[in-house]
Amino acid sequence: MEEKEIVTKGKPEALYETFFRKDGKDKSTTHYCPGCGHGRVHKLIAESLNELGVADRAVFVSPVGCSVFAYYYMNMGNVQAAHGRAPAVGTGVARARPDSIVISYQGDGDLAAIGTAEILHAANRGENMTVIFINNAIYGMTGGQMAPTTMIGQKTLTSPRGRSSDNEGFPIRMCEIISTLEAPVYVERTSCTDVKNILKTKRAIKKAFKLQTERKGFSFIEILCACPTGWKKTPRDSIKWIQETLEPYFKPGVYKDASETAQPKPRIEPSTDPEQIFTALNLQKGKSPRATGRNIGEKRIKLAGFGGQGALTAGVAIATAGMHDGFDVSWLPSYGPEMRGGTANCSVIISDKRIGMPVVLNPNILVALNGPSLDSFEDDVTPGGLVIVNSSLIERKLKRADVKSVYVPLTEIATNLGLKAAANMVALGVVLGCEKLFDKERLHEVFKTSLKRKDTLEMNIKAVNAGFEFVQKH
């Protein structure tokens, strides 16, 4: 009775006067059992927010557990999260509303069992939020099953002979774990037993909120609370059990306090300026030419080589040039682990009509930069198609007589130009020399917008020209 007097006089404004959202007729008492720790902590939270004057900015994330209905009582923004996910939900809120005071309120099942990943990583990111962790060593809401914080020997509905370390391991100490992380700013464990400890708890909660208003990041307050119903004890015996059994194992105290040294996190808000966003996205205003009026049919190109030879890059370049010329184009890589296997290839289609299937199974142009590529794709080329063979690396001739073949020492030409890696671009010059697709200057333009370094730009242009001229001469 006297405790109540000291801690607060009347209800703080951040607790609803009447619990209008509560089911049933009784809108003035909470749904918590007599002697339950939840209600008391709710009040401490509300008081702290009011004293700091930030209740308007508060968003309370309620967990799955007995406090799932905390929003009956908390007069502030409320969001209810899936079991264990409150820190992730809180992360979303905190990032979306940089000025919010986010409270992730969780029980021990919620936080230390099903939500272990979420709590650790929210802490590790140093999210600007406060976690209030109600450790009552049991699953209250589901009727009293074992929690990760249940004591050795403690009997629950799912540890009927008492928790055994052999079978269930040991009660998990979250403050100790969280305090090993770099990012959290404040980590404290308190207990909600007597007046002194309740005041300590309030100081801890208030300090955490204060740190949040200063954008100093993540605070973790673990509170040892009674669950008389789950423990099958009277409220009075429950307090005694906290003091005699829980406190010696879950030692109250400050586990980390970096409040003096922590730097405020920057306050980030997205721009709504279209120009800034168009620039960020690298979008070019204006219209592109469509449909050239020229009939080239559908050029299905396969470019292949070993990883590093630039078959994929060359594919992108020629497709981009085709697009700028007004054609429909597509480019599809061999993706994922296949790219690591030593050969890389891509399908490019340049067409005067809408493209269907983007995979080129039967190319009418094959560029083989190395031997394995020729071996893999020679049989697939359509009769009458064109095969460009890098004769610097491929010694054999084609097996097939029903396709056109061009043997070009691509690597040698590129090396002589001073850039061995440009053999792929020499190959593109050869393609444009053999097939009437578009002017090679189209490719030059592509390089101009995509290549940052002037020397590589010039080298690539020279490489294309060399390939083109090779065809003219031979």
Partner 1 sequence: MKRELIKGNEAVIKGAVLAGCTHYFGYPITPASEIAQAASYYLPLFGGTFIQAESEVAAINMVYGASSAGVRTMTASSGPGMSLKQEGISYLAGSELPAVIVDIMRAGPGLGNIWPEQSDYHQVVKGGGHGNYKTIVLAPNSAQEMCDLTILAFDLSDKYRCTAVVLTDGYTGQMMEPVEFPEELKKAPYKEWALYADQKHRKNLVTSIFMSPQTLFEVNTRLNQRYKTIENNEVLFEDLHASDAKLVIVAYGIMSRVAHNAIEELRASGLKVGLMRPKTLWPFPVKKLKELCTSAQAFLVAEMSNGQMLEDVKLAIEHSRPIEFFGTWGGTVPSVDELKSAIKTTYEKTTR
Ligand X SMILES: Cc1ncc(C[n+]2csc(CCOP(=O)(O)OP(=O)(O)O)c2C)c(N)n1
CB of 205 closer than 8 Å to CB of 211: no
Q: Can residue 264 be called a binding residue for partner 1 (CB under 8 A)?
A: no
Which residue, 11 or 420, has its beta carbon nearer to partner 1?
11
445 binds partner 1 (CB under 8 A): no
The nearer residue to ligand X, 158 or 391, going by C-beta atoms, is 158
Helices marked H in 97-216: 108-109, 116-125, 165-168, 174-178, 195-213
Q: Which does 73 bind (CB under 5 to 8 A by kind): ligand X, partner 1, ligand SF4, none?
A: none
368 binds, among partner 1, ligand SF4, ligand X, none (CB under 5 to 8 A by kind): none
CB of 299 to ligand X, least distance (A): 54
How far apart are the C-alpha atoms of 236 and 240, rounded to whole Å?
7
227 binds ligand SF4 (CB under 6 A): yes
| Residues from 165 through 204 that contact ligand SF4 (CB under 6 A) | none
* Binding partner of residue 252 among ligand SF4, partner 1, ligand X, none, CB cut-off 5 to 8 Å per kind: none
User: x/- binding map, residues 75-94, to partner 1, per CB under 8 A?
Assistant: xxxxxxxx--x--xxxxxxx
Q: How far is the CB of 38 from ligand SF4 (least distance, A)?
A: 5
Q: What would the DSSP string read from start to end of 347-399?
A: EEEEESS-------SS-SEEEE-SHHHHHHHGGGSPTT-EEEEETTT--SPPS
Contact call for residues 406 and 426 (beta carbons, < 8 A):
no
Amino acid identity, position 469: E
Cα separation, 375 vs 363, in Å, equals: 14
Contacted entry of partner 1, ligand X, ligand SF4, none for residue 229, CB cut-off 5 to 8 Å set by kind: ligand SF4
Q: What SS3 state is found at 300? A: strand
- Beta-carbon contacts of 198 under 8 Å, excluding residues fewer than 6 positions away, are 3, 7, 40, 44, 192
**Site for ligand SF4 contains 230 (CB under 6 A):** yes
Indicate the residue among 141 and 187 with the shorter CB distance to ligand X: 141
Paired tokens of 31: 């749904």
List the end-to-end C-alpha distance of the chain, in Å, as a whole number.
Answer: 103
* CA 472 – CA 32 distance, rounded (Å): 89
CB contact at 8 A, 340 and 359:
no
Contact pick of 36, 41, 46, 55 for partner 1 (by CB under 8 A) = 55
Which CA distances in Å does 219 have to 128, 130, 184, 215, 257? Answer: 8, 5, 6, 11, 9
Q: Are strands 298-306 and 343-351 parallel, antiparallel or unpaired?
A: antiparallel
Residue numbers 105-164 binding partner 1 by CB under 8 A = 117-118, 120-121, 125
- H or E element: which one contains 139? none
- Give the one entry of ligand X, ligand SF4, partner 1, none that residue 328 binds, where binding means its C-beta sits below a cut-off of 5 to 8 angstroms depending on kind: partner 1
C-beta closer to ligand SF4: residue 32 or 447: 32
Q: Which stretch binds ligand SF4 (CB under 6 A): 30-38, 93-101, 242-250, 409-417?
A: 30-38
- Of 5, 288, 249, nearest in space to 149 by CA: 249
We find the least distance from the C-beta atom of residue 229 to ligand SF4, in angstroms, to be 4
Could you say which of partner 1, ligand X, ligand SF4, none residue 359 binds, taking C-beta under 5 to 8 angstroms by partner kind?
Answer: partner 1
Determine the Cα–Cα distance for residues 26 and 342; give it in Å rounded to an integer. 72
Residue 33 sits in the site that holds ligand SF4 (CB under 6 A): yes
User: CB of 178 within 8 A of CB of 111?
Assistant: no
Least distance from partner 1 to the Cβ atom of residue 184, Å: 16
Angle at 416 between CA 412 and CA 418, to 5 degrees: 120
Q: Judged by CB under 8 A, does residue 53 bind partner 1?
A: no
Q: How far is the CB of 381 from partner 1 (least distance, A)?
A: 15
Q: Is 380 among the residues that bind partner 1 (CB under 8 A)?
A: no
Question: Which positions from 284 to 323 touch ligand SF4 by CB under 6 A, shown as an x/- string?
Answer: ----------------------------------------
Tell me: does residue 151 bind ligand SF4 (CB under 6 A). Answer: no
Given partner 1, ligand X, ligand SF4, none, residue 108, with its beta carbon under 5 to 8 Å by kind, binds ligand X
DSSP state of 415: H
The Cα 14–Cα 58 span in angstroms is: 10
Binding site for ligand X (CB under 6 A): 64-67, 83, 107-110, 134, 136, 138-142, 147, 227
Query: Which residue, 121 or 155, has its beta carbon nearer to partner 1?
Result: 121
Q: Are 303 and 314 in contact (CB under 8 A)?
A: yes
Please state the closest distance from residue 136 (CB atom) to ligand X, in A: 5
**Candidate residues 66, 122, 350, 393; the one interacting with ligand SF4 per rule CB under 6 A:** 66
- Counting contacts by CB under 8 A, is residue 283 touching partner 1? yes
Footprint (CB under 8 A) of partner 1, residues 308-367? 316, 319-320, 323, 328-333, 335-337, 354-359, 361
CA-to-CA distance for 430 and 386, rounded, in angstroms? 11
Least Å distance, CB 19 to ligand SF4, is 15
Residue ranges binding ligand SF4 (CB under 6 A): 32-33, 36, 38, 66, 136, 140-141, 227-230
